[in-house]
C-alpha cells in the first residue's frame, strides 16, 4: 500500500521565513481515490518557525525539507505528458516556471487550479506546469472538465520527482517557483492563495 500525505491547511516556505497552522492526514493511497478512509490518521500541528530561524526555514520546511532546494538550480526531470511525449524543464527555459504537484482526488489541489490558469493568462512570461501524482485517465478527464491549457505531466504514484524537489514526505498540493535562470526562488507546501501566487510570480518577472 502506497503512502501519501494530503495537506489541509496553510504552510509555506518562502523567500522570507513564513509559517502556517493546520494539519495533514496520513494514510494508504489508492490510485484515483486518494487517502484510504479506512487507513490510520494522525493530526500533526504546524507551528511557527523557531525564533531566529533563517529565511526559507519554517515548520513546513522541516516537514518537507523544501528549504534544501531554495536558491539552488532546479532539479531536472523527464516526464511524459498526457500524449505520452517526454517533457522536461529545459523546454521552458527563460520563463518564470511554476511547477505545481497535485492529484485529482486532492480537494485543495483542485481548488487552486483555476488560480494557476488565470495566472498564466494574466502574466506573460510565466509558464505553469502541472505534475500529477495520479493516473493518466483521471488527469485527462479532469483536464477536459476544467479546461486546463498548461502542460500536465505524470509523476509516478510515489511522487519521486516531487521528492527530488524537497518534498520528502509527500505533502500536496506542493508548488515550486523557478526563476528565469533556473534557480528555485519560492516553495509552497499547501494550497496557494491568489495574492501570494500573483505576488511571487510578479516579483520574479
Question: In tens digits, what is the pLDDT along the chain, a chain of 205 residues?
Answer: 444 544 433 333 332 222 232 223 233 333 444 443 333 222 222 222 222 333 333 334 444 556 678 889 999 999 999 999 999 999 999 999 999 999 999 999 999 999 999 999 999 999 999 999 999 999 999 999 999 999 999 999 889 999 999 998 888 999 999 999 999 999 999 999 999 999 999 999 9
- Give the three-class secondary structure for 65: coil
Question: Rounded distance, CA 81 to CA 193, Å?
Answer: 26
Q: Which of 162, 165, 66 is nearest to 57 (CA)?
A: 66
Residues 6+ apart with CB under 8 A from 20: 9, 10, 11, 12, 46, 58, 59, 60, 189, 190
**pLDDT on residue 118:** 96
- Tell me the per-residue pLDDT of 141-159, one tens digit each, with 9 for 90 and over: 999 999 999 999 999 988 9
Q: Give the cell for residue 181.
A: 535562470
Q: Which residues of 88-97 are buried (b: 16+ CB within 10 A; e: fewer)?
A: ebeebeebbb
Cα–Cα distance, 165 to 6 (Å, whole number): 17
pLDDT tens by residue, 87-104: 999 999 999 999 999 999
Q: Are 202 and 123 in contact (CB under 8 A)?
A: yes
The pLDDT of residue 89 is 96
SS3 189: strand
Helix (H) or strand (E) run with residue 107 in it: helix 107-122
Amino acid at each position: 500500500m502506497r503512502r501519501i500525505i494530503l495537506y489541509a491547511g496553510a504552510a509555506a516556505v518562502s523567500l522570507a521565513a513564513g509559517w502556517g497552522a493546520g494539519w495533514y492526514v496520513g494514510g494508504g493511497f489508492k490510485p484515483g481515490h486518494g487517502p484510504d478512509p479506512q487507513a490510520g490518521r494522525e493530526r500533526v500541528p504546524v507551528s511557527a518557525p523557531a525564533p531566529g530561524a533563517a529565511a526559507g526555514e519554517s515548520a513546513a520546511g522541516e516537514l518537507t525539507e523544501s528549504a534544501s532546494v531554495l536558491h539552488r538550480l532546479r532539479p531536472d526531470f523527464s516526464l511524459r505528458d498526457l500524449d505520452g511525449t517526454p517533457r522536461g524543464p529545459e523546454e521552458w527555459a527563460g520563463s518564470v516556471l511554476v511547477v505545481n504537484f497535485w492529484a485529482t482526488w486532492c480537494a485543495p489541489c483542485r481548488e487552486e487550479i483555476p488560480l494557476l490558469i488565470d495566472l498564466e493568462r494574466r502574466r506573460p512570461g510565466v509558464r505553469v506546469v502541472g505534475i500529477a501524482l495520479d493516473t493518466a485517465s483521471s488527469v485527462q478527464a479532469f483536464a477536459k472538465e476544467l479546461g486546463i491549457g498548461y502542460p500536465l505531466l505524470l509523476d509516478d504514484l510515489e511522487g519521486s520527482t516531487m521528492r527530488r524537489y524537497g518534498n520528502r514526505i509527500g505533502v500536496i498540493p506542493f508548488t515550486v517557483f523557478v526563476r528565469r535562470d533556473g534557480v528555485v526562488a519560492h516553495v509552497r507546501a499547501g494550497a496557494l492563495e491568489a495574492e501570494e501566487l500573483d505576488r511571487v510570480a510578479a516579483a520574479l518577472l
